[in-house]
Structure 1
Amino acid sequence: MAALIYVNFFSHHWLPDARWALAGLLALATAGTCVGYTVQAIRRRMPLLVSFALIGFFLWVAENMATYFGGWRYPYQLHGWRPVGLDKLGAWYLLISVTFVLAAIGRTRPTDPAPKS
């Protein structure tokens, strides 16, 4: 899945964009999967797709802030700032799944458990 998503980021310029189909397949492949995280020594769980959506949303917000403050500009922003399109939310959502896979592949040892207070 991650390889298909990554290839689509480049190939959608000359091939049909498969973003929605890939998002649907990703939802099916990860249904029921949760990620664990710790906040103030309390272990919590969140559905994986919710974590992808939240991370994608905050990246989209950061992208809007960066373009607003002139970090870079897209061609449609050259004559005045406009928000980054909502379609980028979907792109960030899919890109995060690729990032999770790359992090899992590159992991060399299990993470240490959270320290107990």
Structure 2
Amino acid sequence: MSLSLTLDYQYKTTIPKLWSALTDPGKLEKWVLPNNFKPIEGHRFQFRNEPNPFWDGIIDGEVLLVDEPRKLSYSWAVGEEKHVVTWTIRDLGDGHVNLHLEQTGITNEQGLAGAKHGWTQWCGQLNEVLAA
């Protein structure tokens, strides 16, 4: 069984500023995790967090698609779980931008709930990065 998470967030910002927050490793660290991300198709990268008894703290990824400044997709692998995260940016007008997240390949309801919780928290932090 494969589950998908779909979330939408609206920000008062510009498309270039939001794109930068999604692709610049220094900005990504401020709202997701420390990383060595580069917006280059085929680039392998990692997000790193503090390990705990249940997880080594590493998320492995590979950039799958870069369609600047509208769409970004990468793999998201934790242990044996491998998902695909796709971000799509759309101008809503009047200085507002929609950020659409789709995460596919989730294998269970617990993982789906965890992903929703994590992205909701991180995308709240993204709002702070965009306001800076």
Q: TM-score range by the shorter chain?
A: under 0.3
Bigger proportion of residues as helix: 1
Structure-2-length-normalised TM-score? 0.23
Rg bigger for which structure? 1
Structure-1-length-normalised TM-score? 0.26
Bigger proportion of residues as strand: 2
